[in-house]
Amino acid sequence: MSDNAQRYAVFGHPIAHSLSPRIHRAFAAQFGHDIDYRAIDTPEADFVQQLSAFRAGGGVGANVTLPLKGLAFAACAQVSDGAARSGAVNTLEALPGAGWRGHNTDGPGLIADLTARQGLDLRSRDVLLLGAGGAAQGVVHALLEAGVRNLTLTNRTPTRADALADRIGQPGRVHVRYWNDLATSGSYNLVINATAAGVTGGSIDLPFAMVAPRALCYDLSYGKAATSFLAWARAAGAAQALDGLGMLVDQAALAFEIWFGRRPDADAVFAVLRAELDA
Ligand code: NAP
């Protein structure tokens, strides 16, 4: 790799678990490129300074993960329509000269995994979304556009779920429930865990009654971070319990296409990582 190579990175905290560097290097290799893509551990207080240092050092594209997606949105000079709607950015593209254009590929990545890879029809789904952070903000509009019947939001800190529902503004289809009332607030045939509990060492202990017969439970986390939620889902009788590896690879493919103008073969990379994580 030459010293003046264009640089790419993923910013987050924690970040050691991230597969993004491997995924983007694998995508680049499909086109015969070598890519300088690193993981940069960045607490919230350091993000703005770290992002400037990255740009000054030749950074031209970045991904952003927890807990930085809102800060990344605020740091952008321009944002795509999807990022503007969600208020969260997971992909940064350097603008000519200075500044960043922000995108959000989380929502399209989730829908691509659920529909194209898993073959699901989302139109019959009553969805419960756990969490109201950057990832939840990124996926809500995509779920609604994919035609889910209802979307119910719940979050450990209720005011964030209320704020997200207000931001979406579809009171006929979007509802908010208190986390502690889930035992008595109905059942759902798609339960999506968009909390960071698995990554930060917490666990999800929710009533089994909210998982409807033949439900799919989906954790945006993957690998070890998804173990606790997926075990809970199986114990609750979910027909399918999936982690977010497919979403991770699909959102990365969309980011790669933004930077390089070419769509990589996401399925090939997914197959390798799936086999490794399942081994
Ligand atoms: P974030 O902005 O930091 O938000 C964290 C969310 O998790 C908040 O809703 C927070 O609730 C909740 N939370 C944290 N610990 C919890 C606990 N012990 N019990 C219940 N709720 C808890 O993080 P994010 O960017 O939204 O990321 C969330 C997760 O999604 C991460 O695990 C991330 O790796 C994953 N993700 C995966 C993909 C993918 O492509 N597969 C894409 C995006 C994100 P409070 O508001 O109460 O703090």
Ligand 1 mean position, distance from CA 89 (Å): 14
Predicted confidence band of residue 248 (pLDDT cuts 50, 70, 90):
very high
Dist CA 11 CA 32 (whole Å): 25
Residue 191 has pLDDT above 90, yes or no: yes
Q: Are 102 and 83 in contact (CB under 8 A)?
A: yes
Instruction: Record the pTM.
Output: 0.96
Q: What is the pLDDT of residues 146-161, one digit of tens each?
A: 999 999 999 999 999 9
Query: In whole numbers, what is the pLDDT of the chain averaged over residues?
Result: 95
Cβ atoms of 259 and 101 within 8 Å: the answer is no
Question: Residue 66's pLDDT is what?
Answer: 92
The 10s digit of each residue's pLDDT in 27-51 is 999 999 989 999 999 999 999 999 9
Closest CA to 145 of 91, 81, 102: 81
> What residues act catalytically?
69
Measure the CA dihedral 47/51/57/62, to 10°: 120
Q: What is the pLDDT of residue 94?
A: 98
Find the mean pLDDT for residues 156-169: 96
Please name every residue paired with 93 in a beta bridge, in sequence order, or none if there are none: 61, 101
Share of the chain above pLDDT 70, in %: 98
Alpha helices in the chain (DSSP H): 20-30, 47-56, 69-75, 81-86, 106-111, 134-145, 158-168, 197-200, 227-235, 245-260, 266-278
**pLDDT score of 4:** 53
Question: Which residue of 195, 203, 205, 227 sits with most ligand 1 atoms within 8 Å of its CB, as the best mutation to test the pocket?
Answer: 195
Q: How far is the CA of 149 from the centre of ligand 1 (A)?
A: 24
Give the integer Cα–Cα distance in Å for 217 and 205.
14
Share of the chain above pLDDT 90, in %: 90
**Would you place residue 2 in the very low, low, confident or very high pLDDT band (cuts 50, 70, 90)?**
low
Q: Check: CB of residue 206 under 8 Å from CB of residue 214.
A: no
What separation in Å is there between the alpha carbon of 135 and the centre of ligand 1?
7
Lowest mean pLDDT among 100-104, 154-158, 198-202, 239-243: 198-202
Residues with CB under 6 A from ligand 1: 65-67, 69, 106, 109, 131-136, 155-157, 160, 194-200, 202, 220-222, 225, 244, 247-248, 251
